[in-house]
């Protein structure tokens, strides 16, 4: 639950106040004249340019990589309430990239971005409340922030919200609601959610027990190399649930699951 990931989307540069119509020099596949124009705009206080310049130093231009400069410009943009910059600064504080590692500072920036509606920041904040990292542990607050992210169609948040309903953490236990959120994640073709749907059918939680449907959903997850899908499908073949018993096929699936990751049971 609540696996940390990094936002990598580069923000749209259309708002940068730069006129770039001249013949340019290309370095590392990047428009150097454009870079200099963005840098000039950033120095004049343009928030979009500051964000773009920070991202350029961070990863966009290998020859210009400088994590300290990246942090400096991203922080300038963040201090002007640029939501993507706030989230990125939080990531850098968490990792100690371009600045000292400081989880409390990271959480502070996640909060700022989350309050502006940044889905990833909301999800990260939910993780911190759930695990009690740099914040007092609170399943209720974790649920609240996870729900905000899930409502913005962040698949990871939708799955974790389903888990919280299933486990009764931060909210009253409700298997039907858990199933509903897993289904939303399935709509985005998420294999983990498919395996969770299969589990609900297998155990009759939130839906009527149906081994045939459980088999179908485990198979869909397994076809995407999901470890839970492979292991669940193996269990069904081993026990002859929803399919004719086939110990050989069960062993093959268990072996494949081990190759993918740790078997959950």
The tens digit of pLDDT for each residue in 83-101 reads 999 999 999 999 999 999 9
Task: Write down the residue that tokens 């290998």 correspond to.
Answer: 62
Which residue, 116, 142, 162, sits at the end of a domain? 116
Please tell me the distance from the alpha carbon of residue 177 to that of residue 167, in angstroms, as a whole number: 11
- pTM for the predicted model, two decimal places: 0.84
Interior CA angle at 178 toward 174 and 184, to 5°?
Answer: 150
Asked whether residue 44 falls in the same domain as residue 104, the answer is yes
**194-233 per-position pLDDT tens digit:** 999 999 999 999 999 999 999 999 999 999 999 999 999 9
CA-wise closest residue to 75 among 62, 64, 61, 85: 85
Task: Write down the residue that tokens 């459980």 correspond to.
Answer: 214
Which residue, 169, 188, 207, sits at the end of a domain? 188
**141-185 per-position pLDDT tens digit:** 999 999 999 999 999 999 999 999 999 999 999 999 999 999 999
Asked whether residue 86 falls in the same domain as residue 151, the answer is no
Asked, for residue 93, whether it belongs to a domain, the answer is: yes
Specify whether the CB–CB gap between 125 and 152 falls below 8 A. no
Which residue, 188, 214, 235, sits at the end of a domain? 188
What residues make up the domain containing 243?
191-264
Please tell me the distance from the alpha carbon of residue 127 to that of residue 172, in angstroms, as a whole number: 19
pLDDT band at 33 (very low <50, low <70, confident <90, very high): confident
């Amino acid at each position: 639950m609540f696996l940390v990931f990094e936002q990598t989307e580069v923000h749209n540069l259309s708002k940068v106040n730069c006129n770039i119509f001249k013949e340019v020099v290309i370095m590392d596949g990047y428009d150097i004249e454009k870079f200099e124009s963005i840098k000039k705009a950033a120095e004049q206080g343009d928030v979009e340019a500051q964000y773009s310049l920070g991202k350029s130093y961070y990863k966009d231009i290998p020859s210009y990589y400088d994590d300290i400069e990246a942090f400096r410009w991203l922080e300038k943009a963040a201090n002007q309430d640029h939501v993507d910059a706030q989230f990125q600064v939080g990531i850098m504080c968490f990792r100690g990239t371009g600045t000292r590692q400081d989880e409390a500072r990271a959480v502070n920036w996640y909060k700022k971005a989350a309050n502006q509606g940044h889905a990833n920041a909301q999800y990260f904040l939910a993780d911190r409340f759930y695990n009690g990292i740099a914040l007092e542990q609170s399943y209720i607050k974790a649920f609240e922030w996870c729900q905000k992210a899930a409502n913005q169609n962040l698949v990871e948040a939708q799955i974790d919200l389903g888990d919280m309903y299933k486990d009764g953490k931060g909210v009253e236990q409700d298997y039907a609601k858990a199933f509903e959120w897993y289904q939303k994640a399935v709509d985005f073709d998420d294999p983990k959610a498919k395996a969770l749907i299969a589990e609900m059918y297998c155990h009759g939680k939130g839906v009527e027990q149906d081994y045939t449907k459980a088999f179908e959903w485990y198979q869909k997850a397994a076809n995407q190399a999901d470890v839970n899908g492979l292991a669940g499908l193996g269990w069904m073949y081993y026990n002859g649930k929803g399919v004719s018993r086939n110990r050989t096929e069960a062993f093959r699936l268990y072996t494949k699951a081990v190759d993918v990751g740790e078997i959950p049971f």
